[in-house]
Structure 1
Amino acid sequence: MKQTIKLQRGVTAWVILLILAGLAGYALQASLKYPLNQSVMQKTLASLALAQQALLAYANQPLGVTQCEMNCQRPGDLPCPDRNNDGLAETSCSNTARLGRLPWKTLGLGDIRDGSGERLWYAVSERYKNNPRMLPLNTETAGSWSVISTSGIGWDATLGNGVVAVIIAPMQPLARKDGWVQQRNDTSADGIKNYLDMADLGDNASPVETSVNGFVQAPASINFNDVVWPVTTSTMHRQMQQQVLSEVKRALRCSSSPCTALPTAAAVEDSSCLGAQSLTAGQCSPASSGLGRLPLDNATQWPLALQHMLNGDARHHWFQQNGWREQVFYQPGSPRATVIMAGEKLPSQMRNTSLEKTNLAAYLEASTLQKLQIPSAAAVELVSNDSFER
């Protein structure tokens, strides 16, 4: 109950943000072309906003400090859909099971519904599902669902800008464009065609992941009234970025008295420090300047030493398993170190090859480096999406 109240407090903010982004405005305008009154649409948008907030809260659960075994909970994890209409996420979701109803009980929600009284539907990207997990998952991980719109708003997974999840309000039953007349029984797990609609651009009841034939946003008509809400990678990645930054800051916090000096940063140019595989002594060589990546230290300088998330052992910690060392930078100092979390890559930033990943400017923008007093003529002169804390 407390969880539900907390989530409900943020509904208005989410709706406002989405309207500013143009998505809710599009959904409202499209749906009102066909008989749907404004109160029905407002309730629908509020439910969709609440569902997104619940998914983001699920993806931001506390990670703890105990070891795990190659299937660690991680930032960005999303539940599988509910495939039998019991409100609970399925324990796993294979290729054919990543579309179903929103698992409202798993998310700690009430039985939220759209303005017509229908439960919401939900699809999760393969790389973001929590079982079975695919590695790595970080802010370089693209979403795998396309959402194509007649209004020009679109996310194309084939171009690397798919969304991480899709939430759909099915609205009232109708006759689909293919002639299928929708019939619904709320107590059962009826066929998807009885809930999701078809338009010229595609069929929401049979989307194909990692293709352009994903989900469709279209004006409401006699044959189509789905309201489709994409959970974008940018929305998810900003949250993942902040959670990882917080976890690294916690890991570096002094837990003894007197505090042990923190180790030297690892050289950005050392490609042996890249990747999601386990790292061992001799890799991540020391940097010549103060700024670099998080080094390995299997001795006693890191807090929690052998069980520590920064020791490079991919068997036991989400940090190494998901390649986060590539995107986190570190500047030791006295009395405080600085931790910098790179944002999503911006235009002209290339991070595809090992050589590109050893270029600091591929991750950090000019304004970030200026604040850190690091000269870099190659850095991008764009608004920075990096985050850092001391």
Structure 2
Amino acid sequence: MSARRPCHRVAGNGLLAVLLLSALLSAAGLLAQGELRILAESRAQARSVEALSQAREALIGYAISYAERHPGEGHGHLPCPDAGNSGSSTLGACGARSIPSLGRLPWRTLALPELRDGWHECLWYAVAGSVKNNPKPLVLNWDSPGQFGLFDRAGRQIAVAGPDSLAIAVIIAPGAALTGQIRINTGAGPCPGSASAIDDLPAFLDGGNSLVVPSNFRQGGTADLAGNDVLAWIGIDDIHDALRRRHDHADRIEQIGARAATALDAALASPDFIATHLTAAAGGLVATGPLPLSTVLALPGEHAVAHNNWRDQFRIAACIDGTPCVTVHDTDSDTLHLCRAALLFGGERIREGPDRQRRTTTAEREDAAQYLEGDNAHNYASGIPRFAGAPLFRTIDPRLPATQDVVRCIP
């Protein structure tokens, strides 16, 4: 009997070894499955980021080439979203003027393939009313406001390239359906969902990512059960940084100023122009004010849109008695000119440093120092008829904002 006991111990040890090996293999399998899941999620995230990047570049390209496809309407407009499920922008208006709009990305309108995120969902897109192309804003330039606040998962605001740090467009990869999101593909279009983007919105976008005022969007993550929307965005500075790299952009801005100066010269011949459109400044020599609408200056229709988009960037200082009382220092030629009026253009905002300019609030937009620099701002506010600047607008370095004051003499 005693001779058989070691056999039982050997058999028991063998069974233990088999169970241990089985447990180790099971653990390794679970570990491998976890690693595979993480790898799959990482690859899906990368595909989402790639699709978002492609959509973002296409939207910027659309904005900076808008005038070529829509003559006389200027650059900077972005398309309305796809309110249905066709891949194209909504026909007609997408909401009221100045109101943002949200729907699917209009990939056909942008001449893109049918972009999908890493979970095979179509991209979504929100556009600010300040840049959308239907109905167009009354003013569109490099100071146009954003309408979308962006926040990270910790609730911290994400900086956006613009004067107010708000986005003018947000592109959203909705990711996999979260708990409570039921996505039914009705076959109504190329994208999952129905023929109504608004009806589908709760099933695809995280609860906080909507056009509820204020319109805030939260950056999610693949493993975030509270929200997995992945965002890309565009600020107004992104559009104008790209426009500045166009070889013809500076000339387009320059022509707006040149036409305004010619029209102002003619308007000053009217005896009531100064009294009607300008305000006498301290000192009594000059009257100052913003550049009037195109209708006041009798600009023809083909130039009216550009003028009205950019006129808030200009200031006038005109001699009240019509004599040449304004001294203009041409900094290019280092010469002085006596003028009946000066037309001042502030250029792009100084974006950083102690002289940073802000043109967001009504008070800031009425402050000459947010447009003009140094003595020009002081003299304009004080009614001192002496200004200095370049005679023409130009871009010295396309990588940097063109902030130099432009001062035109109206002799």
Q: Do structure 1's residue 135 and structure 2's residue 138 form an aligned pair?
A: yes
1:247 aligns with 252
Tell me the residue number matched to 1:39.
43
The 1-side partners of 2:37 and 2:346 are apart by: 44
- Equivalent residue for 2:128, pick from 101, 105, 125: 125
Alpha-carbon distance, 1:100 to partner: 0.5
Instruction: Tell me which residue corresponds to 1:280.
Output: 297
Q: Which residue of 1 aligns with 2:10?
A: none
Rounded Cα–Cα distance in structure 2 between residues aligned with 1:231 and 1:355: 23
Query: C-alpha distance in 1, partners of 2:69/2:202?
Result: 44
Query: How far off its partner does 1:150 sit?
Result: 2.5
Structure 1: distance between partners of 2:65 and 2:220: 34
8 Å CA contact retained: 2:349, 2:356: no
Q: Which residue of 2 aligns with 1:88?
A: 88
Q: What secondary structure does 1:230 align onto?
A: strand
Q: Percent identity?
A: 26
Look up the match of 2:229. Answer: 226
Give the counterpart of 1:55 among 46, 55, 59: 59
Name the structure 1 match of 2:205: 196
* Equivalent residue letter for 1:115: G
**8 Å Cα contact 1:83/1:101 also seen in 2:** yes
SS of 1:168's partner is strand
Aligned to 2:153: 150
2:388 & 2:103 partners in 1: Cα distance? 50
What SS does the corresponding residue of 1:154 show, helix, strand or coil?
A: coil
- Structure 1 residue identity aligned to 2:60: L
Separation in 2 of the partners of 1:97 and 1:272? Answer: 31
User: Tell me, what secondary structure is at the counterpart of 1:109?
Assistant: coil
Deviation track 1:159-204 (CA, whole Å, cap 9, x = no partner) reads: 94321011000122231xxx34344456333611121123xxxx22
User: Distance in 2 between the 1:116 and 1:172 partners?
Assistant: 6
Closer, same or farther: CA 168–62 of 1 in aligned 2, 3 Å: closer
Instruction: Give the RMSD, CA atoms, in angstroms.
Output: 4.8
SS at match of 1:80: coil
Please name the residue that 1:166 is paired with. 170
Larger proportion of helix: 2
Q: 1:270 to 1:136 in 2, by over 3 A?
A: farther
Go from structure 1 to structure 2 and tell me whether the alpha carbon gap of 1:194 and 1:326 turns closer, same or farther (over 3 Å shift). same
Q: Distance in 1 between matches of 2:230 and 2:122?
A: 12
TM-score by length of 2: 0.57
Shift in Å at residue 247 of structure 1? Answer: 1.5
Shift of 1:276: 4.4
1:386 to 2:402 alignment: yes
8 Å CA contact 2:125–2:169 kept in 1: the answer is: yes
Q: How far apart, in 2, do the equivalents of 1:239 and 1:270 lie? A: 37
1:231 and 1:320 map into 2 onto residues whose CA distance is 25
- The offset of 1:83, in angstroms, is 1.0
Aligned-partner residue type, residue 51 of structure 1: A
Structure 1 residue aligned with 2:370: 362
SS at match of 2:126: strand
Q: 2:106 aligns with which of 103, 118, 128?
A: 103
Q: Say if 2:349 and 2:358, in contact at 8 Å, map to a contact too.
A: no
Tell me the secondary structure at the aligned position of residue 57 of structure 2. helix
Q: 1:365 to 1:135 in 2, by over 3 A?
A: same
Retained in 2: the 8 A contact 1:48–1:169? yes
Q: Deviations over 1:214-261 (max 9, x none)?
A: 2211344235221011212321243355665241357799xxxxxxxx
Secondary structure of the residue that 1:147 maps to in structure 2? strand
Which structure 2 residues correspond to residues 58-77 of structure 1 after superposition, within 5 A? 58-61=62-65, 63=67, 73-77=73-77
Cα distance change on mapping 1:182 and 1:350 into 2, 3 Å: closer
Contact persistence 2:73–2:306 (CA under 8 A)? no
Q: CA deviation at 1:65?
A: 12
Q: Indicate the structure (1 or 2) with the bigger Cα radius of gyration.
A: 2
Structure-2 change in CA distance of 1:355 and 1:58 (3 Å): closer
Confirm whether residue 342 of structure 1 aligns to residue 347 of structure 2: yes
Alignment of 1:323 onto 2:310: yes
Instruction: Quote how far apart the aligned CAs of 1:123 are.
Output: 0.5
| Letter in structure 1 aligned against 2:295 | S
Structure with the higher fraction of residues in strand conformation: 2
Taking structure 1 as reference, are residues 141 and 227 closer, same or farther at Cα in structure 2, changes over 3 Å only?
A: same
Amino acid across the alignment from 2:83: R
Query: In 2, distance between residues paired with 1:130 and 1:169?
Result: 23
Q: Structure 1 pair 183/64, CA: closer, same or farther in 2 (3 Å)? A: closer
Q: Does 1:216 align with 2:218?
A: yes
How has the CA–CA distance of structure 1 residues 274 and 355 changed in structure 2, closer, same or farther, with 3 Å as cutoff? farther
Write the distance in 2 (CA, Å) between the matches of 1:50 and 1:234.
19
The CA distance in 1 between the partners of 2:53 and 2:117, in whole Å, is: 11
State the AA in 1 paired with 2:122: R
Give a deviation string over 1:108-150, Cα, whole Å, max 9, x none: 1111111222111001001111111121111222111222222
Contact 2:100-2:147 at 8 Å conserved across structures: no
Gaps of 5+ in 1: 1-31, 254-262, 282-297, 299-305, 310-316, 376-382
Aligned length: 292
Gaps of 5+ in 2: 1-35, 259-264, 269-277, 279-285, 317-327, 334-343, 378-386, 391-398, 407-411
After TM superposition, give the deviation of residue 81 of structure 1 in Å. 0.3
Q: TM-score, normalised by structure 1?
A: 0.59
